[in-house]
Structure 1
Amino acid sequence: MVRPVVSPGSEASPRPRPALRLVKTQDLDRDQWLQVRKGGIGSSDAAAAVGLNPYQSQLELWMEKTGRAPTAPPGDGGADDLSPMYWGSLLEPIVAAHYTRRTGNRVRRINAVLQHPEFPWMLANIDREVMGASDVQLLECKTAGIQGAWLWRDGVPEYVQLQVQHQLAVTGKAAADVAVLLGGQELQIFRIERDDELIAQLITLEREFWGYVERGQAPPADGSDSADRALRALYPRDTGFTLNLKHDLVMGAVFSDLLAVREVLATNTALEAQFKQAIQQRMGDSSRAVFENGEVSFKRSRDGTQLDTARLAKEQPEIVKAYTVPKPGSRRFLVQT
């Protein structure tokens, strides 16, 4: 199935200039690749750089770009066959081959990191270049497992659209196809046309993010799990110092908002428990209850087993000692009023 996802930009826009070839990738080792990647915003970074990647926050991306966190090159899933990155890298040639079989479009690799001719911090790695087609020039290969396939239910996810628009911005090309293998057995193809208005907004927001990188100033946390991971990595230990924020009006307002939100959450949590228990009480020993606008289940899970660690420590302390490993502590955020 082929269908448009993003409307094309204005025909009155000036003709974009082609990308520069920053560095060839065939002979780069891992450390060299990481250095190149730190030097700019790649297409796979675009959505995170503008705060629209569901898996990575601006803060976590900023840590990678400033060398405050380890990073891995795209497609480098190592030997971890549970990693989506591993399977994406492994299946990319297969997706590209089936794209050619489905469309008749020939494709080839671009073994180089590309750079925007005007904005040197805009980089791109292209999965494939489409050869000899007048209506499309780039191919982005994707894979989505059973759990991730729902993201493609309504077309190309927003974060992938931004990735492709970034590629079109860097290369100056007019259109790209996204070929995605869903659940290991269904290939879908989507066309994304160049949108110059969206690209202009993307460049503005990416430039703002790159300013944080150049200044070494962390962007604001966004409340995501990714931002939480980043903060814990940035500040893994506390010093025991007490920070006096009594006269900080901005942080004082933030703390007041936090208290207000926690009060609402506590009230809603109590109400949720009350409503849930009312349904449980009415169900009794029933397994399922059906309502006009939905249903609930109330089933017993299977019996399992667990290790009696207290008894083991008492009767076989030498075994417990031999298999005990240190566990690093973590910082807890506690609120008192």
Structure 2
Amino acid sequence: MDENTDRIGWLRERRAGIGGTDAAVLMGTHVGKVTPRDVYNDKIATDDPAELNLPMFRFGHMLEPRLLAEAEAHHGIKVRPGGLFRNKAESWRYANPDALTSDGGILECKTTGTTTKHYAAWKAGDISPHAYDQTQHYLAVTGRAHARFVVGVNPKGWQKRPESEWVDSVTEIFHVGPIPRDEARIAEILEAERDFWACVEARALSTRWAPREVEARIPEMVEDDLVRLAVIKEQQTKLKADREAIEKRLRGAIGDEGGFLTLWGKPRVSLTAYDAETFDKAGLIEAHPDIAERFIGTAPRTRLSVVDA
């Protein structure tokens, strides 16, 4: 299937099964905020799928032909477009690798920024957990032996440039791989996918995929807390804006040279210069990616969000 002939049809095809990005979500390695419930809701939806026309997606699509050519030259192999593949026995498992390689592998094109936590890993020849699970899923579906990656680095300030200059602005490209099939990980991925797809076909998520729901014991108290929380957040926003406006007026009254603002002959506000300590995270990653990789990681956290009724 040609991805460019019918974009909505292509998105419908992706909805009718589990792909590489879905696999990463199910395995808990996806880099975004998508949850298994989000994937489930998309699979059972009946309306036309919506496409996100984000700049970073357009950038990656425009850069892909150049990355494929770079990979051919770097590895000395032939590369051809991937297309859509489905498993014969379980047609709901599909893969759409960016390209296939003449040495029996697949090739994935990626982009990254110098300030992202994965930049150092790509530069050092490693791949993100998301990319690993995505491509292991692809290898499982296609039966191919290994995966390679070609990564274009988004230059600083690329979104401010005209789109016609995006591709030529890329000066840093990484080549990673080959990464062989990981049969143990593939088995884990397939087990999770089969369990999840059974839920999709049954139109009911199991407790493995659905977040725990706890009914409020005192609904009136929770409702009151939610109302108060909304009011407090609104007040905080206004107070912050008021504080910034007042401080701006006071700074303006003193002037850029600094000093004291007096009131009834007495100093009441001072404006002094000092050197603040800063940390250039992007600079550290670029200059010492191996060191940065050792100290930049993730830690378990919880996020409290209010769901709109």
Calculate the TM-score normalised by the size of structure 1: 0.54
TM superposition shift of 1:246? 4.5
What is the distance in 1 between the residues matched to 2:47 and 2:128? 27
Count of residue pairs brought into register by the alignment: 209
TM superposition shift of 1:118? 2.5
**Is the Cα contact below 8 Å between 1:139 and 1:176 reproduced in 2?**
yes
Q: Does 1:64 align with 2:42?
A: yes
**Is the Cα contact below 8 Å between 2:8 and 2:49 reproduced in 1?**
no
TM superposition shift of 1:52? 1.9
Q: Does 1:288 align with 2:288?
A: no
Partner of 1:207: 194
TM superposition shift of 1:144? 1.2
Consecutive unaligned residues of structure 2, counting only runs of 5 or more, are 155-169, 223-271, 281-304
Q: For 1:158-169, what aligned pairs fall within 5 Å after superposition? A: 158-169=129-140
Identity %: 27
TM superposition shift of 1:27? 7.1
Consecutive unaligned residues of structure 1, counting only runs of 5 or more, are 1-23, 223-242, 248-254, 256-283, 296-330
Q: Aligned letter for 2:68?
A: A
Q: Aligned letter for 1:96?
A: L
Partner of 2:127: 156
Compared CA separation, residues 35 and 202, structure 1 to 2 (3 A): same
**Is the Cα contact below 8 Å between 2:137 and 2:186 reproduced in 1?**
yes
TM superposition shift of 1:28? 4.4
Compared CA separation, residues 119 and 333, structure 1 to 2 (3 A): closer
Aligned-residue CA RMSD (Å): 3.4
1:70-128 deviation digits (Å, cap 9, x = unpaired): 7456xxx64x5xx21111111111100011111111111134x2011232221001211
What is the distance in 2 between the residues matched to 1:140 and 1:171? 14
Partner of 2:173: 187
Partner of 2:24: 47
What is the distance in 2 between the residues matched to 1:92 and 1:33? 18
The secondary structure found in structure 2 opposite 1:179 is strand
Partner of 1:176: 147
Structure with greater contact order relative to length (CA < 8 Å, sep ≥ 6) = 1
**Is the Cα contact below 8 Å between 2:78 and 2:101 reproduced in 1?**
yes
What is the distance in 2 between the residues matched to 1:121 and 1:165? 16
Calculate the TM-score normalised by the size of structure 2: 0.59
The secondary structure found in structure 1 opposite 2:176 is strand
Partner of 2:62: 90
Partner of 1:101: 73
What is the distance in 2 between the residues matched to 1:27 and 1:93? 14
The secondary structure found in structure 2 opposite 1:178 is strand
TM superposition shift of 1:199? 0.5
What is the distance in 1 between the residues matched to 2:190 and 2:44? 20
Q: For 1:14-29, what aligned pairs fall within 5 Å after superposition? A: 24-25=1-2, 28-29=5-6
Partner of 1:33: 10
Q: Aligned letter for 2:73?
A: R
TM superposition shift of 1:245? 5.3
**Is the Cα contact below 8 Å between 1:50 and 1:209 reproduced in 2?**
no
TM superposition shift of 1:25? 2.4
Q: Aligned letter for 1:187?
A: I
- Higher helix content, 1 or 2: 2
Compared CA separation, residues 333 and 107, structure 1 to 2 (3 A): closer
Compared CA separation, residues 26 and 143, structure 1 to 2 (3 A): closer
